[in-house]
Structure 1
Amino acid sequence: MALRLLHFADLHLDRSFAGERLYGVGAQRRREDLRIALQRIVERARQAEADLITCAGDLFEQDHVTRETASFVLQTLGAAGRPVLIAPGHADPAVPSSPYRYLRWPTNVTVATHEELRPYHYGDVQIWAAGFMRPEVPEAPLRDFVRQEGGIPLLLLHASDMSQMPEGVTPSKPILPSQVEEAGFRHALLGHFHDARTSELVTYPGSPEPLGWAESGRHCTALVTIEDGGALRVELDDVNARQFAQETIDITGMTSEEHVREAVMAVREGKHLDGAVIRTTLVGERDRSLTLDPQALSKECSDGFAYLEVSDRSRVSHDLDAAAQEFTSRGEMVRKLVDHKNESRQEERTVGRALQLALDAFDE
């Protein structure tokens, strides 16, 4: 065997999580999850007897990283017991104020603090890496790259495979699998996409932990084995301890807060979301006698979740027949709208919705 390496990317240590509306203790616990994930990655490399650990950028967030976190990274990677090669990304560019530049890194850790591709040699394997030296690097890194012959060349970059761009992701250092092949690389070890995926020429391990509500894919490390003859095998192994999930619960017909609490807890049990970060939205029509306190529900039902946020978008169910009998402006409004409900099905739904909204307004 020529080389076995463990590849990861996009840990985003010290992420604020403000974009996910996580603050205070909730956000701090998620940041702690990311630290623990780095420790798991190093331990996984030991268990796999990897010769090398590679990181394709966004190890931390330059805008938020503290010196304490930087020291934690140095200590954790310095104790890995094997070489570590890092290619900085757009969130952790090697700007002058970066820990990559102002701290003395352990001798086993190498940071590619250069924008042009350069080779790093590990036996017969050459890993060509380049880092972000500023947040925005629009250039296509393989456009003018001279094809490599001989040895077993791999590519390590924080970059976007333009053939499989996820929705909502901003391109960063655009490349194509065809360019990887034409440049002579056996495989590209990339970062930037937070859902794990692998193909014949390109591997994204994904972020070790999900970083937001939309990140429902796999979150892995990639164990890459290169044989002496150049044959290459990639194994994606899930590494995340958390899940982010958004759930909707229809509370129509529920008559008590206890029923609602049971429904929220059933989400965890029924969908195997123990230890997950959950946002639950209550919808449907509820009886006027049922009042809900989303904040209290979040606290009362939080056992078994890493974080639970309950929001209430349900509506009070109105008795239209009773309202139509009222000799009030409210009753007159209901009678007029009810007269229009015998139209098409679409118009009936529209009128029904208008009735609910109007009665809600009267009740405020």
Structure 2
Amino acid sequence: MLKVLHGADFHLDAPFRALPPEKAAQRREEQRDLLLRLADTVREQGVELVLLAGDLLDSEQIYGETAQLLARALGSMGVPVFLAPGNHDFWSPRSPYARIQWPENVHIFHTAQAEAVPLPRLGCTVYGAAFTAPARADRVLEGFRAEGEGLRLMVLHGSTEPTDRYGPVPAADIAASGLDYLALGHVHTASGLNRTGDTWWAYPGCPEGRGFDETGDKGVYCLEIDKGQVRETFLPLCRRRYVEKEADLAGRPAAEVLDALLPREESPDCWRVTLTGERGEEEPDLRALEAMAKSRCYSLTLRDRTRLRRALWDRAQEDTLTGLFLRAMAKRRDQARDETQQTAVEEAVRFGLAALEHREDPK
């Protein structure tokens, strides 16, 4: 069994535009720290080979300290490291990949066509290809067939959507590739292991979220690969998660609902809370609420999707189908034995009014 670490989509030196400048700079520093955690993981897990499937950098603009730490961290792993540039960090003579002095254990693929690097000591051949422009619509694996000795592995940035303009690798090409494992990058959500034909493949997702389209734990895959079988372990590496929640006011004060939802002690995560449900006449003061709760998480964004509480029975005297419905339901409410039954009747009225008024939302 060959032990392999598969990572992708680090997007180092991302701008983090949604955060204040000082926190954006802090997040970039934390991304650099991620490289050290990655190197520690390689050593602690006994990894023999590292595959990095592109978009390691967010753009060709990279801070000097990031470039230095990247080369040092990859070199400290002490095992072969293969990197396939993606659409954000595509290879060109001006790219950081062409300017950085890389350690001997690091191999950067720099051609659009797949190339092979045999590793006899590990009993495998590693294939890879690079983006050489911000997009590529050609099918990288079209007509490709791995013929190397031992395990046949490939690292590639691309999309399994056949018509995608970012290196499409459709299922038929994967099945015909002759690969034992295809390490993909581009999709920022971990896919789990997949098998197409005799080829296993996966996206590890990004190891550190950058926005609320990248929620939850983020990390890399540690794989054990042999002929015909792959075992995967997801290793979370992120310093902070992006957490998205909804808070239904249900007529209660927004401050009370938010206080109950947020963690009691300061969270290292970035939170976005959407206030929903019915409220009184006064709209929630988002700025005041954020100030009240700012010590409870690293960052907090609030959105107001509440609705003014409607009087359920206002149209009961109308000479309409709605009025007839409300009068009938009012009798049921008056006959209810307890508050629980009254609440059930009111809920039924909300759904009934939504149907009569052709609304999707019963509230």
Taking structure 1 as the reference length, the TM-score comes to 0.77
Contact 1:16–1:64 at 8 Å: present in 2 too?
Answer: no
The reply on whether 1:278 has 2:277 as its aligned counterpart is no
Contact 1:195–1:217 at 8 Å: present in 2 too?
Answer: no
Contact 2:7–2:221 at 8 Å: present in 1 too?
Answer: yes
1:127 is matched with which residue? 126
The reply on whether 1:297 has 2:283 as its aligned counterpart is no
Following the alignment from structure 1 to structure 2, what is the Cα–Cα distance between the partners of residues 219 and 181? 28
Q: Which SS does the other structure have where 1:32 is aligned?
A: helix
Q: Which SS does the other structure have where 1:174 is aligned?
A: coil
Following the alignment from structure 2 to structure 1, what is the Cα–Cα distance between the partners of residues 25 and 357? 45
Q: Which SS does the other structure have where 1:303 is aligned?
A: helix
Task: Mark the CA change 1:299 to 1:80 in structure 2 (over 3 Å): closer, same or farther.
Answer: farther
2:53 is matched with which residue? 56
Task: For 1:153-172, list aligned pairs within 5 A.
Answer: 153-162=152-161, 171-172=165-166
1:342 is matched with which residue? 323
Q: Note the C-alpha offset of 1:320.
A: 10
* Structure 1: 5+ residue stretches without partners: 325-334, 354-364
The reply on whether 1:235 has 2:233 as its aligned counterpart is yes
2:329 is matched with which residue? none
Task: For 1:70-81, list aligned pairs within 5 A.
Answer: 70-81=67-78
Match of 2:257 among 260, 263, 266: 263
**Identical residues among aligned pairs (%):** 29
Q: Which SS does the other structure have where 2:74 is aligned?
A: helix
Task: Mark the CA change 1:32 to 1:342 in structure 2 (over 3 Å): closer, same or farther.
Answer: farther
Once the two structures are superposed, what CA deviation does each residue of 1:134-188 show, in whole Å capped at 9, x if it has no partner?
111111011122441532111110011238x9xxxx5521113442342211110
1:252 is matched with which residue? 250
The reply on whether 1:82 has 2:82 as its aligned counterpart is no
Count of residue pairs the alignment pairs up: 325
1:198 is matched with which residue? 193
Q: Note the C-alpha offset of 1:251.
A: 2.1
* Structure 2: 5+ residue stretches without partners: 326-352
1:328 is matched with which residue? none
Q: Which amino acid counterpart does residue 55 of structure 1 have in structure 2?
A: L
Following the alignment from structure 1 to structure 2, what is the Cα–Cα distance between the partners of residues 66 and 307? 25
Considering only aligned residues, what root-mean-square deviation do their CA atoms show, in Å? 3.3
Task: Mark the CA change 1:149 to 1:315 in structure 2 (over 3 Å): closer, same or farther.
Answer: closer
Following the alignment from structure 2 to structure 1, what is the Cα–Cα distance between the partners of residues 223 and 228? 12
Following the alignment from structure 1 to structure 2, what is the Cα–Cα distance between the partners of residues 142 and 304? 48
Contact 1:187–1:202 at 8 Å: present in 2 too?
Answer: yes
Task: Mark the CA change 1:297 to 1:339 in structure 2 (over 3 Å): closer, same or farther.
Answer: farther
Taking structure 2 as the reference length, the TM-score comes to 0.77
Task: Mark the CA change 1:242 to 1:251 in structure 2 (over 3 Å): closer, same or farther.
Answer: same
Following the alignment from structure 1 to structure 2, what is the Cα–Cα distance between the partners of residues 185 and 213? 34
Contact 1:16–1:27 at 8 Å: present in 2 too?
Answer: yes
Once the two structures are superposed, what CA deviation does each residue of 1:230-272 show, in whole Å capped at 9, x if it has no partner?
75433222333332232222223224xxxx33422332349x9
Q: Which SS does the other structure have where 1:172 is aligned?
A: coil
Following the alignment from structure 1 to structure 2, what is the Cα–Cα distance between the partners of residues 243 and 46? 25
Contact 2:111–2:129 at 8 Å: present in 1 too?
Answer: yes
Contact 2:146–2:152 at 8 Å: present in 1 too?
Answer: no
Stretches of 4+ moved more than 4 A in 1?
Answer: 315-321, 338-341, 346-351
